[in-house]
Amino acid sequence: MSSGGESPEIAAEQAYVDGLHTRLDTLRNEAVAALDATLASTGLTHQGLVERDLSAHELARRVAQLDAVESGLCFGRLDMAGTAVEKGGDEIGEVAGTRATANAETRYVGRLGLRADDGELTPLLIDWRAPAARPFYVATALHPDRVRRRRHIRSRGRRVIGIWDEDFSGGTSEVNGDAALLEALTAARTDRMSDIVPTIQAEQDEVIRAPHAGVLVVQGGPGTGKTAVALHRAAYLLYTRRERLARSGVLVVGPTATFLSYIGEVLPSLGETGVLLATVDRLFPGVTARRAEPAASAEIKGRLAMAEVLAAAVEDRERPPDEGCRLVLDRQPLTVPHEACARLVERTRQAGLRHNEAAPVFRGLFLDELVERVAARYGTDVLDGSPLLTGADLEVIREELAEDPEVLGAADALWPVLTPTALLAGLLGSRERLAAAAPGLTEAERAALHRPGAPAGWTAADVPLLDEAAELLGPVPPGGPDPAEVERAEAVRLAREALDVAYGSRGAEVENAEDAEELAAWDLVDAEALAERQAEVDVRTPAQRAAADRTWAFGHVVVDEAQELSPMAWRLVMRRCPSRSMTLVGDIAQAGSAGGAASWDEVLAPHVGDRWRLAELTVNYRLPAEVAEVAAGVLARIDPARRAPRAVRAAGERPWWRRAADASPAGLAAGAAELAAAARAARPAERVAVLVPRGLLAEARRAVAALDPGEDVGGGADGIVVLDPAEAKGLEFDAVLVVDPERMVTEGPRGLGDLYVALTRPTRRLGLLHPGAAPPAGLPGLAGLPGVAELPGVAREKDAAARP
């Protein structure tokens, strides 16, 4: 590695990087100027205003993209053996960043492609996703792919602060090219995941660039970078299939809101801002799952059998009462017997429509039945036996009945129009409806589902059921207030508020402007015109539109921690991607939910059969070898056939354990807080996580928060977070303290899986606080805690006695 401002090599690279930033600034300034000019356009026709809004939206997206790639713009250089220089590509696109001589070629690799404004659009920088950039990630000494030298360029802001070179020209089998990777792996963690564009490894690159079609499952143990790989694959697909995916969008599904916050900056840092990140429980527009739920009932709701339960619940709402339907028409009672009502229901079902879509069909049949019964009251002609009422008479009766509130109410009672929330609330709130719809569940299981009274909010496990209900019911048919008129009235209201905010006291003057010329002079519109413009040009990104539309079909879906999804959640996710273009990443050994998957076959067989591909990541980049040894002991207990990923580095520090003098919840919490505080004080720049069984979570958060009463983010003091294994899934920290590992196994939904997750979160150091006199069973490689003074509430153990 070369570093420091004195190096001629660094000075040369600095000069080139300065030129790249100058070009980036020029492009950004041009885009900002074009955006300002577009927004300042006045005196436009209605069509012109629509075109202005669309143009402004696209220019704003371009400015955001150019802003996003500012940090780490250029991170690599390839010195190639001489051949013709590749041409083609856009300013931000295909192949760029080559410099050629008679016998050699140099390619600079970065976050996007840049070309010079020299009339020939000379390439300056290759987008990392372009084919010409791939040797940067896959070239080796044995297979150099025409690469003579690969250079890693490290920057801070716009300043080059270091370079690492790998020389392939000698044909040796060993090349010292790990410096850039190791520096990235050992850097202090923050509360946001960073992209791995400068350090993508060959096996990761193969997954990122895998063919687009079908379902790709990426199996990888902790620390293999599967989450980063999945996100970079999404960015790669957006680059290679921009036209299609820009319209349909990409969905990234994560396990928790904390996890999504952690990964939320990765795709924007790669210039991709049109991707929707969501947990499964946020994929039903209009519903936010805020209510907690026992694991037992959540597991039942996640079973595939609940699809049949909901279908039966819909049929149950179509079942006529035993006494039939009783009405009073023209002050005379009229009864449609149960058998006749059942016949109408059966004929309606034969239409093959979803429940709500079939409501008009049932209403029509019900009216026909009533007309026939009313006509029967008038009898027949005594001479020839023909009905006394003619066709015209019957049509008049039908029209009158169709407007009779009692008739309409009776039809709605027999075949009610239902919303998903009404159906599910009615099912869970009634023991009788649960018994009718779920005879296959035990009485205890139905009792676990029963939720008497109005639901006090929805749970995460309810959301897939609501989505299933929506699929069974179909949209609400026309009737009552026109939905379009209601939507337009709301749009006008919002537009009026926007005018009030934008123009203050002048808003009324604008609203009352008398002619188009006066409005044009202001470049303003009244609320109705503004609402009309917004209705005609939807400038939301595909991600924003998709978030509000349950029926949106995404072009590609990424599911992280895919082993956690229940069968009902998979039905919801699969509906979001009818093309089945998906990247699923996870680790079966880390399954933490009771309804999670036991195998990928189990997950995918109901949806794609055996039409899916498996890619495995085998190298562990996160865990030091010392920590990986401890975790491997748990993995062997989970599945003896599974091989732990190979660790690429050692930290030089053995994981340790301590015996807690006080094994009560308060004592464990206090001991954990003090150990975490000591670790934090010793290394203030590091993030420390205290991972505890869920039953100890509240106590531990109080103890840690008490360390700094003014700071309580996620239950932790500054630099310290307190989580249970489910909340920690997918996250990483510099140092991790696992509290009461044996209780974590006995109380966790997935037992050893929860402990495995907890042990595999650290990038540097691992410690365990354990109430027993002997080390935790089945955890090899533990030592006592060296070099730390005795702490209150924690009994020091001798290293020799602490070894298992």
Q: Could you list the residues known to form a binding site for ATP, using ranges.
A: 220-227
Residues 9/161, Cβ–Cβ less than 8 Å: no
155: which residues sit within 8 A by CB, 6+ positions away? 17, 71, 72, 73, 74, 75, 161
Identify the CA nearest to 272 among candidates 262, 264, 281, 283: 264
Tell me whether residue 391 is exposed, middle or buried, using C-beta atoms within 10 angstroms of its C-beta: 0 to 12, 13 to 18, 19 or more.
exposed
Amino acid 589 reads A
Query: Length of the chain in residues, anyone?
Result: 804
Q: How far is CA 347 from CA 52, 361, 591, 678, 739, in A?
A: 53, 9, 46, 74, 62
Q: Give the helix ranges, DSSP H, for 403-457.
A: 405-414, 420-428, 431-437, 443-449
Q: Which residues contact 384 (CB under 8 A, 6 or more apart)?
A: none
Q: Are 557 and 594 in contact (CB under 8 A)?
A: no
Q: Which two tokens stand for residue 342?
A: 């059942």
Structure-token pair, residue 98: 């080559």
Contact 657, 687 (CB under 8 A): no
In whole angstroms, what is the distance from residue 97 CA to residue 132 CA? 9
Closest listed residue to residue 98, CA positions, set 47, 136, 72? 136
Task: Return d(Cα 396, Cα 648) in angstroms, integer.
Answer: 85
**Helix H or strand E segment including 79:** strand 74-81
Let me know: does 81 contact 148? Beta carbons within 8 Å. Answer: yes
Query: What tokens does 277 get?
Result: 């990140």
Contact 757, 782 (CB under 8 A): no
Q: Other CB atoms closer than 10 Å to residue 629's CB: what's the count?
A: 18
Q: What angle do CA 720, 721, 722 make, to 5 degrees?
A: 130
Nearest C-alpha neighbor of 498 from the set 528, 538, 535? 528
Which residues, listed in sequence order, are joined to residue 153 by a DSSP beta bridge? 163
What is the rounded CA–CA span in Å between residue 659 and residue 773? 6
First to last CA, the chain: 41
522-548 burial, b at 16+ Cβ within 10 Å, e below that, comes to eebbbbebbbbbeeeeeeebbbeebbe
- The CA-CA-CA angle for residues 462, 463, 465, to 5°, reads 65
DSSP string, 191-227: SSPPP-GGG--HHHHHHHTS-SSSEEEEEE-TTS-HH
CA-CA distance, 203 to 195, in Å (whole number)? Answer: 16
Categorise residue 549: left if φ over 0, alpha if ψ from -120 to 50, beta otherwise.
beta
Over its C-alpha atoms, the chain yields an Rg (Å, rounded) of 33
The tokens describing 252, both together, are 């990234």
Give the three-class secondary structure for 72: coil
- The CB-side HSE value for 325 (13 A sphere, CA atoms) comes to 26
d(C-alpha 722, C-alpha 624), whole Å: 22
